[in-house]
Amino acid sequence: MCIFPLNPLSAVQNFTYQHDQALQSASLVLAGQFALKRTQSLLDEIRSANAMTRRLQSGIVELHKLLSLYYVHDENRIEAIYFANLDPSDPYVEEICLLTEALTDLLYRIDSDPGQPLSDYLLAA
């Protein structure tokens, strides 16, 4: 069996295509309208990208931080307010968790050069 290396940009494009609406909904639930607009902008950039740029990687890192509740303990951030209003029993909470796990798995599978935003983020995690 021949295994080809995973093309990082194609993998991210496929993921965001499959989870487009879920990523937008999660962004809105976790941080409101501003996060939704930022996610929509990132999704547009991913769709039209020809290469995995530093800017694109930084956007993906920020999306992952949002989904993984990276900022919820910082009371000066909007994410903390939205997190406080979540009901853990709502079905969308489990969907966000599954989406976050899928994105985490993808980030670890794609190849990223050392010193790039994605690589640095994963090394720090």
Task: Give the pLDDT confidence of 25-55 residue by residue, as tens digits.
Answer: 999 999 999 999 999 999 999 999 999 999 9
Query: pLDDT at position 68, please?
Result: 96
Q: Would residue 1 count as lying in a domain?
A: no
Measure the CA–CA gap between 12 and 79, rounded to whole angstroms.
Answer: 24
Residue 54 lies in a domain: yes
Contacts of 74 (CB under 8 A, 6+ apart): 80
Residues 8 and 21: their CA atoms lie apart, in Å, by: 21
pLDDT score for 3: 56
Does residue 44 belong to any structural domain of this protein? yes
Q: Identify whether 3 is part of a domain.
A: no
Q: pLDDT 10s per residue in the chain (125 long)?
A: 555 557 899 999 999 999 999 999 999 999 999 999 999 999 999 999 999 999 999 999 999 999 999 999 999 999 999 999 999 999 999 999 999 999 999 999 886 777 788 888 888 87
Domain of 96? 8-124
Position 93 scores a pLDDT of: 95
Residue-level pLDDT at 5: 56
Report pLDDT for 29: 97
C-alpha 45/C-alpha 101 separation (Å) is 22
Measured between its terminal Cα atoms, the distance across the chain in Å is 32
Report the C-alpha gap between 46 and 13 in whole angstroms. Answer: 6
> What's the structural domain count of the chain?
1
Tell me if 2 is assigned to some domain: no
